[in-house]
Amino acid sequence: MTITVVGSVAFDSITTPFGSIDRAIGGAATYFSVAASYFSPVQLVGTVGDDFGAEEMKIFEGRKIDTSGLVRIKGGKSFFWRGEYSYDMNVAHTKDTQLNVFADFKPVLPESFRKPRVLFLANIDPVLQLDVLEQCHRPELIALDTMNYWISSKKPDLEAVIRRCDLLIINEGEVRQYTGDPNLVKGGRQILELGPKTLVIKRGEYGVIMLTRDRIFAIPAYPLETVFDPTGAGDTFAGGFLGYLASTDKMSERDYRRSIIYGSVLASYNVESFSLDRLKGLTKGDIEKRYQEFRELTEFEAASE
């Protein structure tokens, strides 16, 4: 079943302790779409400049990604981000952000994009996220991402979107920032009271907690020996998570839990190299192998002797 995603398609220049790359393909909607397309058809809404040309568009080709909602602005330049990571890979240090065509982005969903099973509002201005909601028939699942910048600068608008979404994907630091409660479970429950049925809290190298009104699911991240570039890990996680979820019959609790693992699997591969270099070439076998490794990693009752 289809997912519609609205978010950034961009260029990133990244420096990590292991190397650097200039103007690589990036953007939340890019990572999300490629990851989700391993499981479900994706309809992508975003905007780029002339600089994102035929060569760059190859990242979406040969996949179940409909790019007819990606608007190219003649004479415009694509969103650009420059960031650095030190050895603590959990924190990105932003060196430059150029919104370019994204500054005037007013997402318009093609008619065929307005009835997805799942709608994912990637991290953009909550005012735009609200506008996208108005354009859609009520999807079965509305999922939302955001960031510290919108929590501090547009909290009332953000809260309006949160009240209308079913599922919020958020970093643990952002839960604390949003609620002012240092306790993650208490803070999470405060957010659930606004309306969402499910909160998925990302904890970087420590994994994910999923909170609903009456259940908690927690899973560590896959312990990697090579974390080369964490850029896009959160969006890749969201893509694998919602992509798999949208492919299930019932979206049951068990389906949600398995989806969290698939999201974690894709994110763990993504950080093994720059940009989407690893993510774009995964096979079904790669994905299933690491899914089984997650079982082996966390199993304590049925573990082999």
Q: Which amino acid makes up residue 101? A: V
Q: Which residue has the tokens 């309809």?
A: 43
On whether the CB atoms of residues 246 and 140 are closer than 8 A, the answer is: no
Site string for a copy of itself, 252-291 (x = CB under 8 A): xxx--xx-xx------------------------------
Can you read off the two tokens belonging to residue 139? Answer: 């999807």
Q: Which residues, numbered 88-117, are part of the site for a copy of itself (CB under 8 A)?
A: 88-89
- CA 107/CA 5 separation, integer angstroms: 11
Stretch that binds a copy of itself, among 112-120, 145-153, 215-223, 238-246 (CB under 8 A): 215-223
For a copy of itself, the closer of residues 69 and 243 by Cβ is 243
Query: Is residue 185 involved in binding a copy of itself (CB under 8 A)?
Result: yes
Query: In the complex, what is the shortest distance from the CB of residue 165 to a copy of itself, in angstroms, rounded to a whole number?
Result: 22
Q: List, in sequence order, every residue forming a beta bridge with 85; answer none if it has no partner.
A: 92
β-bridge pairing 208-212 and 216-219: antiparallel
Q: What are the φ/ψ torsions at residue 274 (nearest 5 degrees)?
A: -65, 150
Residues in the chain, overall count:
305
Q: Which residues, numbered 187-206, are part of the site for a copy of itself (CB under 8 A)?
A: 189, 203, 205-206
- How many residues interact with a copy of itself (rule CB under 8 A)? 43
Contact residue for a copy of itself among 3, 14, 45, 209 (CB under 8 A): 209
- CA 254/CA 266 separation, integer angstroms: 19
- Chain residues that interact with a copy of itself, rule: CB under 8 A: 87-89, 182-186, 189, 203, 205-207, 209, 215-220, 223-227, 250, 252-254, 257-258, 260-261, 295-301, 303-305
